[in-house]
Amino acid sequence: MTLTFEDFPPGHFGTFGPRRVTREEILEFAAEYDPQPMHLDEEAASRSMLKGLSASGWHLCAIMMRMIFDGYISRTASLGSPGVNELRWLAALRPGDDITLDVEVAEARISRSRPDTGIVTFKAVARNGAGEALCEWVSPIIVRRRDAMKAEQAG
């Protein structure tokens, strides 16, 4: 069953994960995309503001993307996202952390320019196993409306 705009009323949507993040994948992502010593080297990381090896914030973003893909985007009539309103990195993601993602629909409205679609704004919070918030992410996605999907399937 494909999820459409109507399946995203404002309120709590779901909790996804846990997803374990290993040291190896932290180092691999950092080496490719964010080779700062605080993401690659224990010793340098211990002297950094984050006081220990931590994942690149962009790695956490990519992991959250994969978690929402597996959680619901893969079965949503999504046309993509225009961007991110706000994203805050609140605490360091450490090797071995188990991430859970709490997703809330902050706002859902029909698009004025494309009335066969709606704009669903999500607020997602990633937490580690201790329940500490690591990241808060507010982003709209464009989702097709049910009637538009039905009309296309019928036609």
Partner 1 sequence: MPFYEDIKVGQRGELGSFTFTAELIKKFASQFDPQRFHLDEEEGRKSLFGGLTASGWHVAAVCMKLMVAYAQRHARHAAERGDEVAIGGPSPGFRDLRWIKPVLAGDTVTFFSEVESLRASSTRPEWGIVQARNTGTNQRGELVFSFLAAGFVPRRNAKP
Chain residues in the site for partner 1 (CB under 8 A): 32-38, 48-50, 54, 56-58, 61-63, 65-66, 69, 73-74, 78-89, 92
Least separation, in Å, of the C-beta of 18 and partner 1? Answer: 17
Least separation, in Å, of the C-beta of 57 and partner 1? Answer: 6
From CA 6, how far away is CA 26, in angstroms rounded?
Answer: 37
Q: State which residue, 9 or 79, has the beta carbon closest to partner 1.
A: 79
Q: State which residue, 55 or 108, has the beta carbon closest to partner 1.
A: 55
Least separation, in Å, of the C-beta of 154 and partner 1? Answer: 19
Q: State which residue, 38 or 120, has the beta carbon closest to partner 1.
A: 38
Q: Which helix (H) or strand (E) holds 153?
A: helix 146-154
Least separation, in Å, of the C-beta of 83 and partner 1? Answer: 4
Q: State which residue, 88 or 109, has the beta carbon closest to partner 1.
A: 88
What does each C-alpha distance from 140 to 9, 49, 77, 119 come to in angstroms? 14, 31, 14, 6
Q: State which residue, 9 or 121, has the beta carbon closest to partner 1.
A: 121
Query: In whole angstroms, what separates CA 153 from the centre of its chain?
Result: 30
Q: Which helix (H) or strand (E) holds 12?
A: strand 11-20
Least separation, in Å, of the C-beta of 149 and partner 1? Answer: 15
Task: Using CB atoms within 10 Å of the CB of residue 101, give its burial: 0 to 12 exposed, 13 to 18 middle, 19+ buried.
Answer: buried
The DSSP call for residue 5 is G
